[in-house]
Structure 1
Amino acid sequence: MPDIREDTVKAFQILWNTANPELEQLVVDGIVGNPDVSKTLKCINNSPAEGFPNVGYSRTLKLTEPIQQGKDVGELQLTLKKAGIKLEKADQVFDLATDQAVKEFQRSHSLTIDGIVSAEGETRQALKLVIA
């Protein structure tokens, strides 16, 4: 099992509980637990890849392995296109082309050129990107 920091697990447990109020709530203890019986691990494995869109928290979007996918990536791509950035498709996949488009937007707006659209960072603010 990979080393997962306690605060990260607690953050997930809180997020899961917030996104799933109708389900039995996880204990917010920062412990993943034994893989055979862990509720937290089962919830991690059953979490949607695009995050929890109904909770109102935005995730940091960037080129990662595995590649990020989801509605929030598609909204970013459409917003970049509306801002005049050349991007062939808005397919909800944060691939190399999307990374380059983010960097082009950052360059044209004198922002830090890192390809990252953090939850509350300067690039998201400059794009006026809100994903609910």
Structure 2
Amino acid sequence: METEELQNLNVHHGHNIRRTRIEKGIKQDAMAKLVNLSQPAVSRYEQTKVIDDEMLRRFSRALNVPVEYLKTLEEDAPSVVFENISNDVHDNDNISTPSGYAQSTTNNFNPIDKITELYERLLKEKDEKYAALEQRIRNLEQQK
């Protein structure tokens, strides 16, 4: 019955995994390590329309999203960002996290801070150019 419901919806588990993986900036080989599979196996799963619940749980833990998100996200649906999701991960789940990967892959930055930083850098460059031009003018005046 669940398969029939999925056929009625525009849901593709593999595409949902791929889309979420890309949104989080995780490459297939890194994802393979997170779910203890080979990279070609991850690729095959990303092309599979219906994936069993156990595999979906493994991918959801690795991607730090609820399993229902991967099971129900329809094609062409808007992106959703999950922060501070608590998945019940047990020691015997056999999911490893390579060093260098944080459980939460949220990039937090304030665009205003970036704009301010760019503006200050441009002002500094302008001041340096003015100082260099003034020095040239003084050198030219001394040569006369």
Decide: shared fold, TM above 0.5.
Answer: no
Give the number of the structure whose alpha-carbon radius of gyration is greater.
2
Greater relative contact order, per chain length (Cα 8 Å cut-off, separation 6+): 2
Scaled by the length of structure 2, the TM-score of the pair is 0.29
Larger proportion of helix:
2
